[in-house]
Structure 1
């Protein structure tokens, strides 16, 4: 079976044609940045692609693409690059495969993909496919802040402290998302105690 045919079938399964209109909403410089970040992620140079942050910047520039559509585009481009790497496709083979699969793909997107793959395609590790298939996300960063609840519908004066924790996590597809939750002070102390226990165990490794 030809490598190009395998890529075509894989892209068709992802409904790349349906994403062409969404790609058309992304300005060329932002699409190039997305592709660059995906290559860096596949090469394990960054933990993931911050789709939410990139989407906000794209919207500020005047485009109306939403986070869900940008995430779909990111997944398709990531799958495209990883499949092309696994099948050792040259730049021309990749562009030809795209032309056979997505007739409505914007010209600027094809130019960006051609340029990025020509410049960095050979550096993409073939073994990263196993990494993409992982079901576990990767921790990127954590932030916390202390707050005080002043009142509620049932109580006019609460004044109890709480801690808000925000975890930045790269999911298995490489997209970075924020997960936030609140804890009471006793819960936070227990949380902290467990971290100290983990640190103590790690010191023995």
Structure 2
């Protein structure tokens, strides 16, 4: 059984999916399938949201996240369970009677083309279920006021990491370091990079 059959609000998500024209439905599916085949680090919902906005689709972030999550779970579950394109469509129809014929044809076609490579990659992913750093940004700042810090006017470095979770969602983590801590962190990262090049 596909995981998507158990989701609350499936009909409303299906309604949102079916209101997309074929080209617009294909694009987020390709982002998701690219991730599930190992060609990208994650599915960036903000990129898909901007694409929808440019196309004149007025979905809020929650509705878009529902579409992305639904398609991601559907394709991931189909990959793990080695579901054929025909079985995928059959299971989707059992989960909701709101599907349009056109949307199901698109999903069938995309799964026919990509299902096998998703299945292979999902088997490998099961062995390595850890997050991956997608992006790292840093900035140097100066503390000017604080409730907890005794020494103000001292520089610190803020690090922002974007991490692609095994689920496919990209999350952000921020933390601060003193300049000496950052220098030590930089040194350790250089050492790790040098070791990685020898592997």
Distance 1:92 1:201, change over 3 A: closer
Q: After TM superposition, give the deviation of residue 19 of structure 1 in Å.
A: 2.6
Structure 2: distance between partners of 1:131 and 1:98: 24
SS at match of 2:99: coil
2:132 alignment counterpart: 138
2:173 alignment counterpart: 179
Structure 2: distance between partners of 1:172 and 1:179: 16
Is residue 113 of structure 2 the alignment partner of residue 119 of structure 1? yes
SS at match of 1:125: helix
Q: After TM superposition, give the deviation of residue 35 of structure 1 in Å.
A: 0.8
Runs of 4+ in 1 over 6 A off after TM superposition: none
Structure 1: distance between partners of 2:196 and 2:120: 31
Is residue 183 of structure 2 the alignment partner of residue 189 of structure 1? yes
Aligned length: 193
Instruction: List runs of 5+ in structure 2 lacking aligned partners.
Output: none
2:38 alignment counterpart: 44
Could you state the TM-score of these two structures normalised by the residue count of structure 1? Answer: 0.73
RMSD: 3.2
After superposition, what is the alpha-carbon deviation per residue over 1:69-117, rounded to whole angstroms, capped at 9, x for unaligned? 4333323212222332344433333222211211123555434312312
Structure 1: distance between partners of 2:116 and 2:198: 40
Q: After TM superposition, give the deviation of residue 25 of structure 1 in Å.
A: 6.5
2:66 alignment counterpart: 72
Q: After TM superposition, give the deviation of residue 175 of structure 1 in Å.
A: 1.8
Instruction: List runs of 5+ in structure 1 lacking aligned partners.
Output: 1-5
1:101 alignment counterpart: 95
Distance 1:71 1:14, change over 3 A: same
**8 Å contact kept, 2:38–2:121:** no
Structure 2: distance between partners of 1:201 and 1:152: 40
Could you state the TM-score of these two structures normalised by the residue count of structure 2? Answer: 0.75
After superposition, what is the alpha-carbon deviation per residue over 1:7-39, rounded to whole angstroms, capped at 9, x for unaligned? 3xx322233335324435656534321111111
